[in-house]
Amino acid sequence: MRRSLLIVGLALAALALAWGVLSVARPAWYLRAVYPLAHADAIRAAAARNRLDPALVAAVIYEESRFRDDVSSHQGAVGLMQVLPSTAQEIARKTGGTDFVVTDLTDPRVNVLYGCYYLRELLDRYGGDKVAAIAANNAGESNGDAWLSVAGGKLTTADIPFSETRDYVAAVLRLQRTYRRAWGASLGPAPGG
């Protein structure tokens, strides 16, 4: 009996050690198991159309919805990229989407396309400042504008006074690197690369 317990204990210790090594080394196959990539075709297409890194898009989706396309927030944001209906209606108006209805946001292709369009708008608004764009995506453009003004033109996560948004931005930036490492070429190239 003691020998069986010893064997079980050693096996559990070996598994814990292996898990610990994997969580530190984080090879690409391990990252792919932990960080899924659903709707890859929609992500690649919308990212290319909006000159975005597909890894950034995947990171925003993971942080917003964990790739669940049926999720909605208490603020009313819908789908994979948590697009607000009012934002989507404005995008539809700007892009000639005359047949758009809010329920279209539950379609992953539409949600990712509109989410990418909005992210590109934010990047353009903030002169390519990724931190400012991601912060504004989470906390709103008025907050992004105010924080960028106080920061003197270049926003860092330390400049963001809302801990939720600061954590969100840090997570998205970390996840962008993680998705690029995990999925690499299958995501498609980053713009300019």
Q: Hey, which residues are catalytic here?
A: 64
- Which residues are registered as beta bridge partners of 72? 78
Structure tokens given for 108: 């992953």
DSSP assigned state of 35: S
What DSSP line would sit under 79-121, residue for residue? TTTTB-HHHHHHHHHHHT-TT--GGGGGSHHHHHHHHHHHHHH
- Which residues are registered as beta bridge partners of 78? 72, 83
Element (H, E) at 166: helix 163-183
